[in-house]
Structure formats: C-alpha cells, structure tokens
Amino acid sequence: MSSRPSRIRPVRRPIINKETSEFEPCWQTIRDALVDIHKQNAGRLSFEHLYRTSYKIVLLRKGDLLYERVKEFEEEWFRDHIMPRIADLISPNLVNVAFVQPPTASAHERRHMGESFLRGIRDAWQDHNTSMNMVADILMYLDRAYTSSTKNASIYTATLGLFRDHILKNSLGTASTDREHPFLVFDILNAVMLDLINLERDGHVIDRNLLRTISSMLEDLYETDEEIEHQKLYLTVFEPRYIENSSVFYRNECEKFLRDSDASSWLRHTRRRLMEEQDRCETTISILTSDKIARVVQTDLFLSRMDEFLAMEGSGLRSMIDNDRLEDLTILYQLISQVDRTKTPLMVPLQSRVMELGLEIEQTLKNTDFSVPATGAGAEGEDGDAAEKGKSQTLTAAAQQTAAAIKWVDDVLQLKDKFDNFWANCFDKDIMIQSAITKSFSDFINMFPRSSEFVSLFIDDNLKRGIRGKTEAEVDVVLDKAIVLLRYLTDRDLFERYYQKHLARRLLHGKSEIHTEKEMVLRMKSEMGKIFTSKFEGMFKDMELSKDLTDKYRDHISSLGDVDTKKIDLNISLLTTNNWPPEVMGRNVNQEEGTKLECTYPSGIKRLQESFFKYYLKDRSGRVITWVGSAGSADIKCVFPKVPGKESGPLSKERRYELHVSTYGMIVLLLFNDLGDGETLSFEEIQAQTNIPHVDLTRTLASLSIAPKARVLLKNPTTKNIKPTDTFSFNSQFVSRTIKIKAPIISSLSKVEGDDERKETEKKNDQTRAHVVDAAIVRIMKQRKQLSHTQLTTEVITQLAGRFKPDVSLIKKRIEDLLVREYLERVEGESAYKYLA
C-alpha cells in the first residue's frame, strides 16, 4: 500500500475506562431512556449516547444481561401502565356482549363499547410498536453483535412478542376467573370484532379503519418469536373464529331466505354478500381471508340449499328458463362457475329442462294433430279403404300435418334460439354448457321418430316459400337454422332419403329457385361431407343436362321442319336412376306389382317419345330411357264448345282454357277427345286403355273430377271418393274464371307420410343400412384381417357415426350374414373373425 514504513497507530480505548466500564451505571442510562421513549420524550435524548452505551455493554460481554433487562422492563411497563387502562375498558357489560348470546345490549351500545375497547388496544399497540422501533434502533449493536450469535429473536421481535404474551394473552385476573370459563383479553378482542362485523352485516355503520388496524396488528404478531409465516395470530386465532362465526351467520341467513323469500332475490343477495365480503377483506380485515370467506358464503348461503331454491315454484330455475329471466340466469351461472368447475348443478337441470320442453313440443304437436286428421279418419271409416279415401280430405289432412311438421321445426328452432340466447348472454359462451345443451337437443330430437322427415319438410317449405316473396336474407337465416338442426340428427341417412324425395319434387315441378337449392346443398356439404350430398348434386346435374338436351332437341326438330310434332312441345327431365328417389323413378310400383309396367301413351305422344329417343341415341348408344308418367306434367289447351240452348252467360260461347295436369292426367283427358257427346268411360275402361297404376289413376281422376276448380270430367255417382265402379264423362258445361287452370297434382306436394308410407320408408332405409353395414364390415376386415367381435363392432360404429347410429344387433346380424356368405370366418376358440379374401 505504502512504501513508506509506518507504525500502525494503536487503538485508543477511551471506551473501556473506569467510569464507564461498569454494567449497572450503563443500564441505568438505558433504563431512563426507555422510560422517556415510552413517555414520548425521546427528543431530549442523544441517540449517539444511548447507542454508545449499549455498544459498551455489548463490548463488556453483558449483552445477554441487557437483553433480559430490556424485556423485564417492558413487562413491568405493561403491568404498571398499560394493562390497568385496558382492564378499565373491559367492563362487565363488554364481557357480556362478548360471551352472552344473543347479546342483551342494544346495537348502539354494543358498537360504542366495542369500539372504545378496540381503540384502547389499538393505541396501546401503536405506542408499543413505535417505542419498540426506537428501542431496537438504539440497541442496534446488541442485535448485531450479541443476538445474532445466539438463538434469541432480535430485540424488536422479542419486545413486540411481549405484547402478545402480556396484553393479548393476559387473563385479567379476577375479572375472568370469576366466570365459569376464564378468558383472555384476546377472546374479548375476537368477540368484539366479530360482533362489530355482524352489526355491519345487519346494516350498521362501524369504524372499518379501526378493525383494519387491529387486523394488521394480528398480522404483525406471531404465535412465537420465530415469526413463522403461517403462524400469524390473525391466521391462527382470529380467522378460524371469523370463519366459523360467518358460517353460522350465513347458514341462518340461508334458512331465512328459504322461508321468506324467492330464488331470484336469494341469487341477488348471495352475489351482494360475496361482494361485501370481498370488500370487507380489503377494507376491514385482511385480504388473506378473501378466498376462505368467499367459500363460506358459497357453501353456506349458496350451495347448501341451492337445490331447494332452484326447485322453487315460480322463481326457480324452471321459471327463469321459461320466463327468460336473463339476469337471474347470469348470476346463477356466475355463482356456480365459482364453486364448481364442472357446473353440474346448473347443467343437469338445464339439460332436463331442454328435454322437457323438447318433449312438450312433441306433445303439443300430438294434441293439435289429434283434432285435424280426426275428420279424415271418419271419412276413411265409411270407406274402409285407406288407399281410396277422398282426395280433398286427404289434401287438407295432409296439408295440416305438414303444417304440424313445420310447426315442430319452428318450435324446436325457437327453443334453440332461447337457449342460444341464454348461452350467449348469461353463460359467458361456456363451452361445457354449450355441449350439454347440444346433447339434450340432440337427445330429444332423435327421440322424436319423425325428426328427419320433419326437418326435410321444413326446408322444403322454406325453399318453396323463397319464391313466394321471402327475401333471400330471410331464407338464408332459416336455412342456417335448418343446418343447425341437421347437426343434431343422428339418422342422417334417413334424412338424406327424405331430402332426396322432397328435392326431386321441387326440381321436377320447378317449385324452387335452383340457386337457393344449390346454396342449401352446399351448406350441407360443408357440414356433412361430400358423400352425403353427392346424390343431390347429381340431381342438379341431371336437371341442367336435361335443359340442355331439351333445347338441342327442339333445335333439331325445327331444323327438320317436322310439322306434325310442332303441336306438342316436349320438355325432358332425364334422370340418372341412382341419384333420384325410387318413388319418383316409378320403381316402387314395379316392385310391388312384380311386373314391368308402363302405361300406354296416346299415339301422338308415343311418336314424340320415339323421335326423341332416336335423337338421344344418335350420340349415345346402348342407353335405355324409361318414361316415368307419374313424375311429369303437361299443359293442355282445351276447347269447350258452346253449349246448345244457352244464349247468354259464359256457356253460350266457346271457351278456351289452358289446363295444367300431370302426365297421367293428360293421357286420361286425351281418351275423352275420341269420345262422342254423352258417352262415358268407366274407371276400369280407363285403366284398361291407359295401363296407369291403380293408385295413380285414382288420384288423377280425383284431381279432374272432384276438385271444383278443375272439374273437367263429370263423375257418376257424384261422391267424394273414386271407386272402381264409377263412370266418367266430359263436362261440357265447365266454366272457369281464369284461362290457366291448375289441376292439383298430388305428387308435387311434399307432405307428411302416413303411417304405412312411413313404415315403408323405414323398411327401405333399414335395407340400405344393412348394405352400408356390410360394406363397412368388409372394408374394415379387409384392412385389419382379424378382429375381435367387440373391436369390430366399435370400428363399425365409429365409421358410420356420420351417417347413422347402427344398432349393435344389426351389426351382429350382418356379421352372421357375412359368415354365411363366406366373407368372414370365425377364429376358433375366440370371439373373433378373420377376413376371407
């Protein structure tokens, strides 16, 4: 450091000289200073002097003695100066308030006494704390050189701890021992605090800051001088009592609400209490308690009787849902999600309410349906033959049933809207709740056996209405909703079948706008996949090709200059067999009657058909065209001659009308062209000449001879039903106000299926399902070679989930069938199968 040789100066030790080397005089200095500090006279003391004095004591190795003397001094100070004042505050009345329940004193009195007691404690504590800070400062060297080398707590901690031992845990001598159970100051302190808080809960105003100060005092004091974090007196003594007291309070309050109030105010009250308690932790006691007290309110006020509140007539969950009480539901959701992550207490009743309301829709439907077909059934009864029931009656009944179907969908959608609204506005778009609601919707929709059909009918109705002046946007909204419902359906194959049928009718009869149709199918495609919509798309394609073909054929004919066929304008719908429903394709009839039936077309038409077929085969050889009479329609210009003998009125003139009828209708009417005046044809004669299937003929004749607007044929007898024995004649007196007349075409109306039809559809669907399951099994086995029965069943169900939910029994049956057909073989000794290539 320094090259200069120098002697180190010895330390001069004025510190350890005779006058100041004794402990007692030094202690006396310190002791006097302690008194001054307590009396808040520190201003006249020299810190340096006191520090130096304690410094010397420590250097004299008397630190331990100093440490003990300071503590003794403080204990004495408490005994002589502090306790008497506190004991004065603890009047017998205060003790009664603390230990006699229910308290006999008035609220005002209790508050007054309690608060002055707390103030006494607070003042004592604050004085002590300030003094001890100063003492710790002057004894700094003691901590540094003595305490830290022993196991003792720092002088500050030790003297602070004295407050706990000599004030709070003071048993007050006779005041307490006179009583049955001796108590400590601390017990009174707790009781007073709890009493004040309960007063506040009951609406009184209390000194929050005072309580807050006392609480932080309890947070600053520990069970021992080791000051272990979780052993704060606040946590070990006050908080448990507070929690218990609150629990009792809220249990009582809950009972009171259950007795006197309703679920709605209970919910609001619970929410308010939770906020109050939160606030209380922040302003009055300690934030340490906020979670615990929240749990108390949740448990004792909310959860304990929740089921009873939610079941309350007129205000419970059911009423909240039915009356759209959004706020109630919001609070309920918020409260429940605080207590239960699974939200089961909300979800379960919510789900069952969805189910109930869903089944209610079905029930209402049944009840409305009941009265409507009742009249139809009566008419049927007379007849005894369902197939031959009156056409007009069938129509109205069917129309009303269709209306019912649409009502069902509308109602379901409305219900869905309702719950979507809850979900978005009350349930914070909770994913778990969404899937729970979705599941319930799906459940009740699939419990309703006709949901697939009804959904398709609903779409049918809306697409047809699209033409009738609904705006595109409106249709859009409805279609979106239809897709939503579609998502719920498990039997999608059944829906596909119905939709195909309804779509076919709309397309063939031009009932809807093609771009809306395509839009709809596009949506289905994105929802259900390509395979689901392939047939629908095929149908669109057929329609486009047909239009093209019709135009080309027309050009072709006009280029030939064929005068003969000019009179008949042909519009072709060329349909690919697989894409279209069998009913439309007429295959249905063929199967039933067992023979290949084709009706006899009049020669004019036949020529036209041949001409078209010839044209068609020019470019495509080896194709076959089947003419489906049941699906087409025709516009016929008819002339009704002047009725002889009538000189005035419409009958006196010749009338020309344009009649729109089904293809069959046209064939039938053409028969009457060749008939003389007054001649008649019987049902059987017509059938023999045309070869139109019985059922279709009945319908056709009904549309031409019964419906008043298009009664161009007269029927004898003039009943409302068609019987095989009826005869028909040309109605020469037919009059209509409009030139264009539409004979009702029964097949163009999408209506609810009758029970027989429905069974038929389901039977067919089951057949298809069998094939689909077969294919799935073979596909899986081909890949996996060998699988156990359970594994195979699971795989099949997974594969088909997008289309429908196959019965386990069906799968089993199909496996058996495949075993017989030797696609599979059993693995011996196991319940497993092997694939046979």
Partner 1 sequence: MDTNGDSAASGKYITLVSRDGWEFVVLREATMISPTIKGMLRGQFAEAKTGRCTFPEISGVILEKVVEYFQFWYKNQDKEDVSDMDIPVELCLELLVAADYFGLDKQY
d(CA 731, CA 231): 108
Q: How far is the CB of 345 from partner 1 (least distance, A)?
A: 53
Q: How far is the CB of 51 from partner 1 (least distance, A)?
A: 6
Q: Which is nearer to partner 1, 89 or 136 (CB)?
A: 136
Q: Which is nearer to partner 1, 138 or 409 (CB)?
A: 138
Q: Which is nearer to partner 1, 156 or 664 (CB)?
A: 156
Q: Which of 32, 48, 417, 635 binds partner 1 (CB under 8 A)?
A: 48
Q: Which of 87, 140, 258, 810 binds partner 1 (CB under 8 A)?
A: 140
Regarding 1 and contact with partner 1 (CB under 8 A), the answer is yes
In the sheet with 727-730, reading across from the earlier edge strand, the strands are 680-682, 727-730, 713-716
Q: How far is the CB of 225 from partner 1 (least distance, A)?
A: 21
Q: Which is nearer to partner 1, 44 or 341 (CB)?
A: 44
Regarding 19 and contact with partner 1 (CB under 8 A), the answer is no
d(CA 826, CA 816): 10
Site for partner 1 in 26-45 (CB under 8 A): 40, 42-45
User: How many C-beta atoms lie closer than 10 Å to residue 266's C-beta?
Assistant: 25
Regarding 3 and contact with partner 1 (CB under 8 A), the answer is no
Longest Cα pair distance anywhere in the chain, in angstroms?
163
Torsion angle defined by CA atoms of residues 541, 542, 545 and 551, in that order, rounded to the nearest 10 degrees: -130
R_g of the chain computed on alpha carbons: 48
Q: Which of 21, 126, 133, 344 binds partner 1 (CB under 8 A)?
A: 133
Regarding 596 and contact with partner 1 (CB under 8 A), the answer is no
Place of tokens 């025709």: 634
Regarding 18 and contact with partner 1 (CB under 8 A), the answer is no
Q: Which is nearer to partner 1, 20 or 682 (CB)?
A: 20
Number of C-alpha atoms within 13 angstroms, CB side, residue 309? 26
The site map against partner 1 for 163-202 (x = CB under 8 A) is ----------------------------------------
Q: Which of 113, 138, 445, 651 binds partner 1 (CB under 8 A)?
A: 138
Residue type, 600: T
Q: Which is nearer to partner 1, 4 or 341 (CB)?
A: 4
Q: How far is the CB of 220 from partner 1 (least distance, A)?
A: 19
In the sheet with 740-742, reading across from the earlier edge strand, the strands are 633-640, 655-662, 740-742
Q: Which is nearer to partner 1, 39 or 763 (CB)?
A: 39
Instruction: Give the contacts of 558 (CB within 8 A, at least 6 positions apart).
Output: none
Site for partner 1 in 49-88 (CB under 8 A): 50-52, 55
d(CA 186, CA 188): 5
**Site size for partner 1 (CB under 8 A):** 30
Q: Which is nearer to partner 1, 143 or 496 (CB)?
A: 143
Q: How far is the CB of 135 from partner 1 (least distance, A)?
A: 10
Q: How far is the CB of 2 from partner 1 (least distance, A)?
A: 6
d(CA 30, CA 37): 10
Among the candidate windows 129-137, 162-170, 265-273, 806-814, which touches partner 1 by CB under 8 A? 129-137
Q: How far is the CB of 15 from partner 1 (least distance, A)?
A: 6
Among the candidate windows 48-56, 324-332, 447-455, 617-625, which touches partner 1 by CB under 8 A? 48-56
Residue 100's SS3 state is coil
Regarding 598 and contact with partner 1 (CB under 8 A), the answer is no
d(CA 554, CA 611): 11
Q: Which is nearer to partner 1, 58 or 478 (CB)?
A: 58
User: How many C-beta atoms lie closer than 10 Å to residue 767's C-beta?
Assistant: 10
Q: How far is the CB of 328 from partner 1 (least distance, A)?
A: 52
Are 455 and 488 in contact by the 8 Å Cβ rule? The answer is no
DSSP element (H, E) containing 519? helix 514-528
Instruction: Give the contacts of 648 (CB within 8 A, at least 6 positions apart).
Output: none
Regarding 372 and contact with partner 1 (CB under 8 A), the answer is no
Q: Which of 47, 177, 576, 606 binds partner 1 (CB under 8 A)?
A: 47
As a residue count, the chain comes to 837
Nearest to 747 by CA among 585, 581, 631: 631
Q: How far is the CB of 130 from partner 1 (least distance, A)?
A: 8
Place of tokens 């004979």: 743
Helical H runs in 744-807?
Answer: 755-784, 789-800
Q: Which is nearer to partner 1, 137 or 430 (CB)?
A: 137
DSSP element (H, E) containing 834? strand 832-835
Are 392 and 707 in contact by the 8 Å Cβ rule? The answer is yes
- Contact residues for partner 1 (CB under 8 A)? 1-2, 6-12, 14-15, 40, 42-48, 50-52, 55, 133-134, 137-138, 140-141, 144
